[in-house]
Structure 1
Amino acid sequence: MTPQVVFVHGIRTSATMWRAQVEHLTAAGIGAHALDLPGHGTRMSETFTLDGAFETIDAAVTDAAARGPVLLVAHSMGGLVSIEYMGREDRPPVEAFIAAGCTSIPRGAGLTMYRTLARGFDRLPRRGQPLTDMVLDRTLPPETRADFAAGGYAYDAQDTALRSLSVLDLVSALKRISVPMWFVNGQWDQLRLNERLFTALKPEAELIVVPRTSHLVTAMRPRVFNAVIDLALATMAQERPTSG
């Protein structure tokens, strides 16, 4: 059976943020499935809920698992939700997990400040889009620059999604995850706040910090991130029992 990779995007973005990774895997003959969470991308008219996000991830994983062993790859908000999903009492059909840009507990003063900043951007002309465009123009390579905007920006879902994250029990979830796992952060990622806690809770996981890289590690260093995916797939193949 052919390995399958399921991708979960971060807040405000959509499945299109994974274009570089999908193209890389497709060229190698590996199944690649980038989904849209409720309230994002092709589902922007929907309301974001955690239950809806879990159902979306589980449906994609279950479908992919019918075709081959699954690697789950998730970024930012999608990573936080996927940690909770992976830490279920009933283990999902996933053989390895990459959690990128999500080593932070989303509650307390940190979450409040993040929501306050997001609301402030919303009050700017065009909801701060010109500033976002300027930052992306200066930090992302031409090959991935258009990917974040291609599916549209889910401004209306942002505060609802952020607020909902506070109920996640990531500490308990991390303790229950039993598959090979990688934490991937950019050196300048603002969500490295609890990196030491996450690696202490999951000491067998590998931590990869990409130098001179922001929170948008998947797009800022696409070749590096693709290499991490290749590493995870190779690890899965090595650990999978062979027939005969």
Structure 2
Amino acid sequence: MESKEAGLPIVFVHGMRVSGTMWQPVIQALGVHHPTAAPDLPGHGVRRGEPFGMPGAVAAVDDALTQLGGRALLVGLSLGGYVALATAAAHPDRVLGVVAMGCTAAPHGMFGTAYRGAARLAARHPEGFNRLSAFAFRRALPRPQAAAMIAGGLSSEAVPAIVTAVRKLDPLAALSAYPGPVWLVNGERDHFRRHERRFLRACRDGRLTIRPRCGHLTALADTADLAQHIRDAAAVVAARAHGPRPRRGTR
């Protein structure tokens, strides 16, 4: 267990078509107590142009774990949440816990069909999709958070490969395979809440948190509140060696 004096290392995993810069406001709110990393996944940020695939995304997160000493808490939103779950299942000894935000929709059926449509649009008009995304970020988020979403560049051309990779993922199996603590965090108005109870049941050590009045993107709007949620999760992970396992439930 990492020392409490050093603080628990945390790896942040970004969402679709953005980059690790999206987490900078949260990282700044956490302060210097926790060592942090926010890698760019393949096809995003400094790795724009590389093909996206789930094995490569998991490898990028695993590299960040190594940079932070080999073990850390993972925090991911949307695509980042799915990647965090896949990483936890692949490397359970290296992942101390997972805060999985906005990723409790099974990526199949009609839900997956809708995202294949978005992927086709992004493939045909990637720069237009980038402009539309930037507009949406600025409308949904306060200026600093919106700027962080855009700062690393947008990569809508990667969307088709991302949708294909996520649709092949079995997040419920990933949750079932991972023995560590999992926080499923959804905005009250997030369309990715669709199967949250199924996801919670799949957890071996899980809890579900609903953030009032938040949507999928606006979960990032209150940086101080989100940073506190992450601190709370880190504190639970750090205390596990000194107390009983937390009970499954809803907060």
Partner of 1:198: 199
Partner of 1:17: 22
Partner of 2:41: 37
Cα deviations across residues 30-70 of structure 1 (Å, max 9, x unaligned)?
A: 1010010000001002111122111111111133234xx51
Q: Secondary structure in 1 aligned to 2:12? A: strand
Check conservation: 1:18, 1:218, Cα contact below 8 A.
no
Amino acid in the other structure paired with 1:61: L
Name stretches of at least 5 consecutive residues in structure 2 with no aligned partner. Answer: 244-251
Partner of 1:96: 97
Amino acid in the other structure paired with 2:93: P
Check conservation: 2:185, 2:210, Cα contact below 8 A.
yes
Is it true that 1:56 corresponds to 2:57 in the alignment? no
CA 1:125–1:63: 2 relative to 1, 3 Å: closer
Q: Using the TM superposition, give the Cα deviation of residue 128 of structure 1 relative to its aligned residue in structure 2, in angstroms.
A: 3.6
Amino acid in the other structure paired with 2:42: P
CA 1:107–1:36: 2 relative to 1, 3 Å: same
Cα deviations across residues 68-103 of structure 1 (Å, max 9, x unaligned)?
A: x51111111121122122123x52312121001100
Amino acid in the other structure paired with 2:26: Q
Specify which of 82, 86, 89 is matched with residue 87 of structure 1. Answer: 89
CA 1:118–1:188: 2 relative to 1, 3 Å: farther
Cα deviations across residues 161-188 of structure 1 (Å, max 9, x unaligned)?
A: 1111122122221112211211111112
Q: Using the TM superposition, give the Cα deviation of residue 215 of structure 1 relative to its aligned residue in structure 2, in angstroms.
A: 0.7
- Using structure 1 for the length normalisation, give the TM-score: 0.89
Q: Secondary structure in 2 aligned to 1:58? A: helix
Root-mean-square deviation (CA, aligned residues, Å) is 2.1
Cα deviations across residues 185-209 of structure 1 (Å, max 9, x unaligned)?
A: 1112121111111012127412111
Partner of 2:246: none
Moved more, 212-221 or 179-188: 212-221
Cα deviations across residues 108-155 of structure 1 (Å, max 9, x unaligned)?
A: 321121120343356569424444344323321123120111011111
Name stretches of at least 5 consecutive residues in structure 1 with no aligned partner. Answer: none
Identity %: 33
Partner of 1:78: 80
How far apart, in 2, do the equivalents of 1:238 and 1:128 lie?
44
- The correspondence of residues 1-244 of structure 1 with structure 2, limited to 5 A, is 1=3, 2=6, 3-25=8-30, 27-66=31-70, 70-88=72-90, 91-120=92-121, 126-202=127-203, 204-241=205-242
CA 1:178–1:132: 2 relative to 1, 3 Å: same
Q: Secondary structure in 2 aligned to 1:87? A: helix
Moved more, 125-134 or 189-198: 125-134
How far apart, in 2, do the equivalents of 1:225 and 1:172 lie?
27
The total of aligned residue pairs comes to 238
How far apart, in 1, do the equivalents of 2:54 and 2:119 lie?
19
Moved more, 122-131 or 133-142: 122-131
Check conservation: 1:8, 1:78, Cα contact below 8 A.
yes
Structure 1 runs, 4 residues or longer, greater than 4 Å off = 121-126
Q: Secondary structure in 2 aligned to 1:42? A: helix
Check conservation: 1:95, 1:179, Cα contact below 8 A.
yes
